[in-house]
Structure 1
Amino acid sequence: MAKTFKYLILGGGVAAGYAAWEFARQGLEPGELAIISKEAVAPYERTALSKFYLDPELPNRLPTLYVFPRREILLPEWYSEKGIELILSTEIVKADLAAKSLTSAGGETFSYQILLIATGSTVIRLSDLGVQGADAKNIFYFREIDDADKLYEAIKAKKNGKAVVVGGGYISMELSARLRCNNLDVTMVYPEPWCMSRLFTSDIAAFNEGYYAKKGVNIMKRTVVVGFTANSDGEVKEVKLKDGRVLEADIVVVGDGLRPQTALFKGQVEEEKGGIKTDGFFKTSVPNVYAVGDVATFPVKLYNELRRVEYYEHACLSARKAVEAIIAAEEGKTVEEYDYLPLFYSHAFEQPWCFIGDNVGDTVLFGDSSPESSFPKFGSYWIKDGKVVGAFLQGRIDEERDAMEYVARVRPSVQNVDELAREGFSFARKIENFGLE
């Protein structure tokens, strides 16, 4: 017989944890909610894996990595206490949205009244792209806690060895820093002209590449990996690049390339921009089905357009908003639509950075952006149609962050770009203090 629940969350990542917490906060009755996850552990802070899990001195492990909304760590016992069923190590292979049922690889059937899709993203494997030798041992992908465990063990086994990180994006930058902190000889390889090319300007990238080089990370740009060779034990030995160079490697980490996990719902829900299309409450085109986090393509009110966002904060906020909307609809009430301000944060070596808003238009760089500085601290504004639409900060910038968020949301007018560059952080403080727009 099928297990039946009023609410069912499919996916066990951070969005699932925050959705469960919001359900409980809204007055959930025991037995109404279940979470189905193919992972073997309760929802955890996935973003912490690339930041803290590989720390050689203070590696973070469960239970401290379980999701912690408002600093309340949601241990497995918390779900039991709230009457929420955790159905772990269970892969769903079929979704019938018309029949409101899900079927697992083991043949179990789960029925629901309301479904919350929180399946997140999965890595794109080089073997799927036909890269020669990509099935060698010690080639790692990094998405789940099991991946982090395997990489951590490899780092210990290949002490002081050589590591190649494939990709120049968000996760690759964080992992390269962590591998270097573990005393490995690290080389980053990516095809773009500079790191984090979808977000960074060439000036911001120049600082980060220079800073990484100062820390001992080798960077090879404008080339791609085309193959691998293995030793007699089947472990990766060499990385072949398109430009003909060959790199020695004891460990390879593929840090870029994700795709939203929407395959179960193809042909059943409306899709757009690679994700499941939703409204401002994360309702899909199918009644009683919601989608949040990485898989949702949703309206961003601030920019009046649909976007799909792969980031931790959005996963948390969208999950909570969807649950808020679900409960409000049941009670005949209304809630405000999701009003998202894009925000991305990273912390590698001693250099945290934060981006807020939209990275479109012209840019102005300000502050000390020399990689050789003892305490570099700088930022950038993005200007479109005479208004500041985005802001970037790097260094010890906690005291400026609120002001920069305010500027990114209200989008104040700029009369003189040169003066804006001279004012730098003080421009944001002035706008915030006087409530200017």
Structure 2
Amino acid sequence: MARNHFKYIILGGGVAAGYAAREFVKQGLKAGELAIISKEAVAPYERPALSKAYLFPQGAARLPGFHVCVGSGGERLLPQWYIEKGIDLILSTEIVKADLASKILTSASGVAFTYEILIIATGSAAIKLSDFGVQGANANNIFYLREIEDADKLVEAIQSKRNGKAVIVGGGYIGLEVSAAMRINNFTVTMVYPDPWCMPRLFTAEIAAFYEAYYVSKGVKIIKGTVAVGFDINSDEDVKSVKLKDGRVLDADIVVVGVGGRPLTTLFKGQVEEEKGGIKTDGYFKTSVPNVYAVGDVATFPLKLYREMRRVEHVDHARKSAEQAVKAIKSTEASKTLEEYDYLPYFYSRSFDLSWQFYGDNTGETVLFGNSNPTSPNPKFGSYWIKDGKVVGAFLESGTPEENNAMSRVASVQPSVLDLERLQTQGLHFAFHI
């Protein structure tokens, strides 16, 4: 038991774990104090690569190229780095029981790990159609993209089903990014989603219209307003078609499903306070249990800018919340004060030749500006969200780093706006005057 005791344990081996480890080292860490326990077989990596360059037919991203912390321009933390820093990287280890009162984590193989301080960084799991009893949903070549093992299986299928037919179920991040990657791999692609437009949680109808038209111009067929209700399989139990609720049947060699995720909090049910689907924390990511912190997708935290509790599923928040939790731990140990987490929501995506960034909140009225013609050789446009006379959100497609920084500043400062027509005319120039 003694050799499985650590001062700090990070449970989960995703993006947050890697950034937390780096922050521990920055703040001062002794060899043997920290362990990262992950059910994945590889050191923490930048997960967003899996739906983008990892699937490319040429110049594909591969490990060790995208280990953390390269996603934010930092040092790449190779497995050797953890050894050099005296951090125990405990991989291919699934924790099946967490006793927070006794500070004991138990693995599937029966090994017990004890700790003084725990950081819960378990992230999310992909929602699967089989969870809803969809007929044929367990067929071969139906993929979900969450971990590198999922991506490897998808790459293998892409190579074995060259120039085949792909059906993408879902119109969010995974749907849009994987549809683009499958077209780049020369697949015939159909994207299916129930909503009136793509990315409905963020995009307005006007923004979505641009991306849908652009995707159609790239050869992606889009079917809206319906869902997959079943799959036909062949004698090898490979998927061969997708049955839609509206009666249509789509031939398919590969199906990729991206219909959202669920925070992995089951291990802690009844032991820790929860809110809005996540583990409730304060501005330092402390939970209701002493010496237990929660970061990333699983944390519901006070979003200072909007004076409300919110859970955010995005890599940027995973990175920053992990760093904040470690700073809080070390500040407490040193009897120092630390500012509460002050986060500006940030989302981004890249597909084909497009790249957008969004900052802030997407509530209130909207003003679209710029060139949003999908047939234009160089489209560039943006949108502001205005609530109670203030700009609370800012979106920009094809912005330069300087322009994106200006949009970030707008969403953070929340300047007042009286004339929406003038704001539309000013467009991007408005951001540079804040």
Query: Smaller-chain TM-score range?
Result: over 0.9
Task: Look up the SS of the partner of 1:347 in the other structure.
Answer: strand
Distance 1:397 1:256, change over 3 A: farther
Partner of 1:239: 242
CA distance in 1, matches of 2:105, 2:261: 24
Partner of 1:47: 48
Task: Look up the SS of the partner of 1:335 in the other structure.
Answer: coil
Unpaired runs of at least 5, structure 2: none
Kindly report which structure 2 residues correspond to 1:129-148, keeping only aligned pairs within 5 A, or say none: 129-148=132-151
Residues 1:157 and 2:160 aligned together: yes
CA distance in 1, matches of 2:59, 2:310: 37
Displacement of 1:397 in angstroms is 3.6
Task: Look up the SS of the partner of 2:156 in the other structure.
Answer: helix
1:25-78 CA-to-partner distances (Å, cap 9, x unmatched) read 111000000000000000000011111101111101000111025421100000
Task: Look up the SS of the partner of 2:432 in the other structure.
Answer: helix
2:80 maps to which of 69, 77, 81: 77
Which letter does structure 1 place at the counterpart of 2:51? S
Partner of 1:278: 281
Could you tell which deviates more after superposition, 393-402 or 52-61?
Answer: 393-402
Residues 1:56 and 2:57 aligned together: yes
CA distance in 2, matches of 1:73, 1:361: 40
Partner of 2:221: 218
2:301 maps to which of 295, 298, 301: 298
Partner of 2:416: 413
Partner of 1:434: none
Which letter does structure 1 place at the counterpart of 2:120? I
Residues 1:121 and 2:124 aligned together: yes
1:188-218 CA-to-partner distances (Å, cap 9, x unmatched) read 0000000000100000000000000000000
Aligned-residue RMSD, C-alpha? 0.7
- Number of residue pairs matched? 431
CA distance in 2, matches of 1:334, 1:34: 26
Partner of 2:9: 8
Partner of 1:402: 405
Kindly report which structure 2 residues correspond to 1:263-342, keeping only aligned pairs within 5 A, or say none: 263-342=266-345
Task: Look up the SS of the partner of 2:150 in the other structure.
Answer: helix
Q: Quick check: 1:377–1:397 contact (8 Å CA) kept in 2? A: no
Which letter does structure 2 place at the counterpart of 1:202? A
Task: Look up the SS of the partner of 2:306 in the other structure.
Answer: coil
CA distance in 1, matches of 2:263, 2:31: 31
CA distance in 2, matches of 1:429, 1:408: 12
CA distance in 2, matches of 1:250, 1:117: 38
What is the identity percentage for the equivalent residue pairs of Structure 1 and Structure 2?
69
1:228-261 CA-to-partner distances (Å, cap 9, x unmatched) read 0001111000100000000000000001220000
CA distance in 2, matches of 1:113, 1:172: 41
Partner of 1:435: none
CA distance in 2, matches of 1:396, 1:337: 30
Partner of 2:29: 28
Which letter does structure 1 place at the counterpart of 2:66? L
CA distance in 2, matches of 1:149, 1:140: 11
TM-score, normalising length: structure 2: 0.98
Q: Quick check: 1:277–1:296 contact (8 Å CA) kept in 2? A: yes
Which letter does structure 2 place at the counterpart of 1:42? A
TM-score, normalising length: structure 1: 0.98
Unpaired runs of at least 5, structure 1: 432-437
Q: Quick check: 1:7–1:34 contact (8 Å CA) kept in 2? A: yes
Displacement of 1:396 in angstroms is 3.8
Q: Quick check: 1:236–1:249 contact (8 Å CA) kept in 2? A: yes
CA distance in 2, matches of 1:134, 1:417: 48
Task: Look up the SS of the partner of 2:424 in the other structure.
Answer: helix
